[in-house]
Amino acid sequence: MTFKSLLAAASLVALSAGTAGALTIPATSVVPNGIIPALELQLPGTPALTGNFTFNVETETGNYPNGNNLLVTINLPSGLVFASNLSGNTVVPAANAQGVVNGGGTTGANTVTLLVSLDDIYNSNVLGLALPLRLDACPAAGDFVEVLVRTESGTNIEEGRATTANIIAPCQSAVNGVVASDETTSDTIISLPSYTTLTPSQQLFFSPTPVGSVLGTIDFAINPLVSKSLTAVTPLVPSDIERIRAVIQFEDVSAFDNVYIDNRTAGISSFSNTATYSTTDPTDLGELLDGNPANGEIALAVDGTTQIPTQTVRVISSTVEFVDSGPVDFITSEAGPTGNLDTLQREGREFGFFDWNSGGDGSGTVTVYRITGLTGPTDFTVTLDNSNADGTYTGQLTPDMTGEAILFSTDMGGTLPDGVVRYDALINLETSSTTVDVDRLLSKGGIVTNFGDGANNSYRNPSFNQPSWDSDNLLGSE
Same domain? For 179 and 320 the reply is yes
With a cut of 60, say whether residue 16 has pLDDT above it: no
Determine the pLDDT at residue 160.
95
In a domain, 469, yes or no: no
Cβ 49 vs Cβ 41: under 8 Å: yes
Where a domain ends, among 164, 189, 216?
A: 164
In a domain, 301, yes or no: yes
**Residue with the larger pLDDT of the pair 187 and 198:** 198
Same domain? For 241 and 283 the reply is yes
- pLDDT bucket at 471, cuts 50 / 70 / 90: very low
Name the percent of the chain lying above pLDDT 70: 86
Cβ 265 vs Cβ 291: under 8 Å: no
Same domain? For 395 and 338 the reply is no
Q: Among 374-378, 390-394, 451-455, whose mean pLDDT is lowest?
A: 451-455
| Distance from the first to the final alpha carbon of the chain | 98
Same domain? For 284 and 304 the reply is yes
Same domain? For 352 and 337 the reply is no
With a cut of 60, say whether residue 456 has pLDDT above it: no
Where a domain ends, among 344, 363, 382?
A: 344
Determine the pLDDT at residue 205.
61
Determine the pLDDT at residue 264.
87
Cβ 440 vs Cβ 451: under 8 Å: yes
- pLDDT bucket at 182, cuts 50 / 70 / 90: confident
pLDDT in tens, 414-429: 999 988 988 999 898 9
Determine the pLDDT at residue 179.
95
Determine the pLDDT at residue 465.
36
- pLDDT bucket at 365, cuts 50 / 70 / 90: confident
**Residue with the larger pLDDT of the pair 459 and 380:** 380
Same domain? For 119 and 187 the reply is no
Q: HSE of 453 in the Cβ direction (CA atoms, 13 Å)?
A: 5
d(CA 66, CA 9): 9
Where a domain ends, among 324, 344, 364?
A: 344
Same domain? For 453 and 425 the reply is yes
Q: HSE of 1 in the Cβ direction (CA atoms, 13 Å)?
A: 8
Q: Among 238-242, 264-268, 283-287, 471-475, whose mean pLDDT is lowest?
A: 471-475
Same domain? For 372 and 336 the reply is no
- Quote the pTM value: 0.77
Residue 444's CATH number? 2.60.290
Same domain? For 107 and 130 the reply is yes
d(CA 195, CA 393): 17
Nearest to 56 by CA among 141, 124, 156: 124
Domain count, the chain: 3
Nearest to 38 by CA among 235, 332, 187: 235
With a cut of 50, say whether residue 20 has pLDDT above it: yes
With a cut of 60, say whether residue 258 has pLDDT above it: yes
Determine the pLDDT at residue 294.
86
Determine the pLDDT at residue 8.
46
Neighbouring-strand partners of residue 298: 216, 261
Same domain? For 193 and 274 the reply is yes
Same domain? For 276 and 373 the reply is no
In a domain, 139, yes or no: yes
Same domain? For 237 and 297 the reply is yes
In a domain, 473, yes or no: no
With a cut of 50, say whether residue 52 has pLDDT above it: yes
Mean pLDDT of the chain: 86
In a domain, 388, yes or no: yes
With a cut of 80, say whether residue 464 has pLDDT above it: no
d(CA 455, CA 256): 33
With a cut of 80, say whether residue 466 has pLDDT above it: no
pLDDT in tens, 262-286: 878 899 999 999 999 999 999 999 9
Determine the pLDDT at residue 399.
94
Determine the pLDDT at residue 145.
97
Q: Among 28-42, 185-199, 309-323, 451-465, whose mean pLDDT is lowest?
A: 451-465
Q: Among 22-31, 188-197, 368-377, 438-447, whose mean pLDDT is lowest?
A: 438-447
Residue 88's CATH number? 2.60.40
In a domain, 124, yes or no: yes
CB contact set of 151 (below 8 Å; sequence gap of 6+): 12, 16, 65, 68, 69, 70, 71, 157
| Domain of residue 370, residue span | 348-464
In a domain, 471, yes or no: no
Query: Residue 95, exposed/middle/buried by CB under 10 A (0-12, 13-18, 19+)?
Result: exposed
In a domain, 193, yes or no: yes
With a cut of 70, say whether residue 410 has pLDDT above it: yes
Name the percent of the chain lying above pLDDT 90: 64
Mean pLDDT within 405-414: 91
pLDDT in tens, 292-346: 888 899 999 999 999 998 888 999 999 999 998 888 999 999 999 999 999 898 8
